[in-house]
């Protein structure tokens, strides 16, 4: 089996990166992580990558004149490592149209809400504020508009009366880790078909 080569983009703790590292360590998993890129030098995910022996690169967006220039630098690194798939795992930068087009249907994201509800950087806070009784997480193909694109998998998480942002985030993250590994497996096995906004999973 030729494994698909995956680049993971992070900005922070990297618990989803860890879930993907652990998934890739399973026998017969169809993908391997070949590089991690962080736009934040202090991201704990960089330590996770190092511990797993994965090349990790820090690209500080502030060192680039424009979003396009920063995205181009990321693109070049991904190409250099012969990445087939790019996973956004808590990567908190908007991507340029050019980058999204270059990785069309090879670029997936995890988001801590049941999209299309609660897009943006504060999904957990916004779900709590809206008083929803069920929230969750979504893995989706990335399109130019933020937190949009065909949905691959979702999981529901009940909101408890006494939930805080932290307590809810912990339970959503548990589901994110399960969903992200499944989505990457399906994508790497070429099991996903996209028709309009709908994603099918073949057996």
- Applying CB under 6 A, the residues found at the interface with ligand GAR are 10, 12-16, 45, 89-90, 110-112, 121, 123, 147, 173, 176
CA atoms within 13 A on the CB side of 65: 1
Let me know if 134 is exposed, middle or buried by CB neighbors in 10 A (0-12, 13-18, 19+).
Answer: exposed
CA atoms within 13 A on the CB side of 192: 23
Q: Which is nearer to ligand GAR, 42 or 65 (CB)?
A: 42
- Nearest distance in Å: CB 1, ligand GAR: 27
Q: Which is nearer to ligand GAR, 90 or 150 (CB)?
A: 90
Residue of minimal CB distance from ligand GAR?
A: 90
Q: How many residues does the chain have?
A: 203
Q: Which is nearer to ligand GAR, 172 or 188 (CB)?
A: 172
Contacts of residue 132, defined as CB under 8 A and 6 or more positions apart, other chains included, come to 117, 159
Q: Which is nearer to ligand GAR, 83 or 169 (CB)?
A: 169
* Whole-angstrom distance, CA of residue 100 vs CA of residue 191: 21
Q: What angle do CA 103, 182, 121 make, to 5 degrees?
A: 60
- Nearest distance in Å: CB 109, ligand GAR: 7
* Residue 177 annotated in active site: no
* Whole-angstrom distance, CA of residue 29 vs CA of residue 126: 35
Q: Could you list the active site residues?
A: 111
């Amino acid at each position: 089996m030729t494994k698909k080569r995956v680049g993971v983009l992070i900005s922070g703790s990297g618990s989803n990166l860890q879930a993907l590292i652990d998934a890739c360590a399973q026998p017969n998993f169809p993908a391997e992580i070949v590089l991690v890129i962080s736009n934040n030098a202090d991201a704990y995910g960089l330590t996770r990558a190092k511990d797993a022996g994965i090349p990790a690169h820090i690209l500080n967006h502030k060192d680039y004149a424009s979003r396009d220039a920063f995205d181009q630098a990321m693109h070049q690194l991904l190409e250099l490592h012969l990445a087939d798939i790019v996973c956004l795992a808590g990567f908190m930068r908007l991507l340029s149209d050019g980058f999204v087009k270059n990785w069309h249907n090879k670029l997936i994201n995890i988001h801590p809400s049941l999209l299309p509800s609660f897009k943006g950087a504060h999904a957990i806070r916004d779900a709590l504020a809206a008083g929803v009784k069920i929230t969750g997480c979504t893995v989706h193909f990335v399109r130019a508009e933020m937190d949009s694109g065909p949905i691959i998998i979702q999981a529901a998480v009940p909101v408890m009366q006494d939930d805080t942002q932290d307590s809810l985030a912990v339970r959503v993250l548990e589901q994110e880790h399960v969903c992200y590994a499944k989505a990457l497996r399906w994508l790497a096995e070429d099991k996903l078909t996209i028709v309009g906004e709908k994603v099918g999973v073949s057996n």
